[in-house]
Amino acid sequence: MTNSLRPNGDRRAPLPPAQSSADGVPSPRSPQSPQKKQNGKQRDAFFDNAKYLAIVLVAMGHAWEPLKGDSRVLEAAYQVVYAFHMPAFIIISGYFSRSFDMRPDRLKRLITGVAVPYIVFETAYPLFKRFIDNDPHQEISLLDPWYLTWFLCALFIWRLTTPIWKMARWPLPLALGLAMLATVSPEIGDDLDLQRVLQFLPFFVLGLVMKPEHFHMVRRRSVRIASVPVFAAALVFSWWAVPRMNTAWFYHRDAAQELGAPWWTGPVMVLAMFGCSLVLTACFFAWVPRRHMWFTALGAGTLYGYLLHGFLVKAGDYQGWFEPTWMHQPLGEIAVTVAAAAVVTALCTKPVRRVFRFAMEPKMEWAFKRDAAEVARERQSAERREREKATVG
């Protein structure tokens, strides 16, 4: 998410995953899924579809940001989208992190699929600003996530703490408690964007405790039908709330005091927005197709679309692409929305993933010692083959 209240959104902003999961989220697999395979693993079309549709909403929201100040309707749609698109993504990330432990191969994947892309793009975005925005003094800091990279930082921390949440007796209430405490703690500061890490944490923990039947529940026909008036009501309420509510609450990056609100509103807003986000996320999941669609394969490349579309959005911001008057008219807003969806779709395709795989999914075998257990298994396998050959001979 970009920062609409702070210049250039340099310190804030969002998502993620699949294939060998460049973002560190395990590839969605299901024994009930159709015979669509990638890297020899079955994938559940529902989750790939959900990730693709969520990343499209992310790109659309970023494209709306320079325009929404001139349109109350667009601002209302922006708030509704921001209420659920990242929660949906984070819930899926948590759901596919349930098997995470400190096994060496999983830690390697976390480093190559999350930590390395974080370092690369946390460096690339400030350099891009230096060049495109003619700002040679733009700092590079790995401790202060820049624009979209906050999600990678948060995901790294969430994944590392997964064993703790799996061990806790009441993980979700505990995560909500931490989020509520964060909203009354402005002294947390900007390091590693810990406000977002803590305030979005309940959605990740919710994903960890969810089971397949929970996703089946929201995909029932009755839920799909009910979601239509729910979304309509959310849009109407959001339109009413535009002049009355600070949009920054949806970014989950600041304490209540930093938003000019009494301290007690922080915990109240955490619970209220958590409930609203869950309802809208359930409505979103209800309309996600379960079958294989033309865009299903793009769900494997959502991290690429997520991280790369930010350069285009920022270039437009720096170069004044959003300034023409026609863009701030209804037809212009529609054109920008369609363009954002088309661009992020293209960035999720295989050709783009092949070009940028070195940064998103580096192999880096040279950087790690071989797991002793893996070496022992290979040795045993080789010895078994030798014995079989000797027996045959």
Q: Answer whether residue 57 shows pLDDT above 60.
A: yes
Decide which of 4 and 245 is more confident. 245
Q: Tell me: pLDDT of 335 over 50.
A: yes
Asked whether the predicted pLDDT for residue 264 surpasses 50, the reply is: yes
Average pLDDT over residues 223-241: 95
Give the mean model confidence (pLDDT) for residues 204-213: 94
In this predicted structure, the answer to whether residue 219 has a pLDDT above a threshold of 50 is yes
d(CA 68, CA 20): 37
Q: Binning pLDDT at 50, 70 and 90, where does residue 376 land?
A: confident
Predicted local distance difference test score (pLDDT) of residue 338: 96
Alpha-carbon span 282 to 84, nearest angstrom: 9
Give pLDDT, residue 233. Answer: 97
Inform me whether the pLDDT recorded for 329 exceeds 50.
yes
pLDDT tens string 67-100:
998 899 999 999 999 999 999 999 999 999 998 8
Does residue 117 have a pLDDT over 50?
yes
C-alpha dist (Å) from residue 34 to 214, 217, 290, 348: 20, 20, 10, 21
User: What was the pLDDT predicted at 32?
Assistant: 38
Q: Are 97 and 21 in contact (CB under 8 A)?
A: no
**pLDDT of 40 above 60:** no
More confident residue, 144 or 39: 144
On the 0-12 / 13-18 / 19+ scale of CB atoms within 10 A, 218 is middle
Q: What is the pLDDT of residues 237-249, one digit of tens each?
A: 999 999 999 999 9
Cα atoms in the Cβ-side hemisphere of radius 13 Å centred on 149: 26
| Sequence ranges of the domains in the chain | 45-365
State the chain's mean pLDDT as an integer: 86
Instruction: Indicate the pLDDT class of residue 1, thresholds 50, 70 and 90.
Output: very low
Position 27 scores a pLDDT of 39
Q: Tell me the C-alpha distance between 154 and 193, whole Å.
A: 8
Q: Of 120-129, 140-149, 163-172, which gets the smallest average pLDDT?
A: 140-149
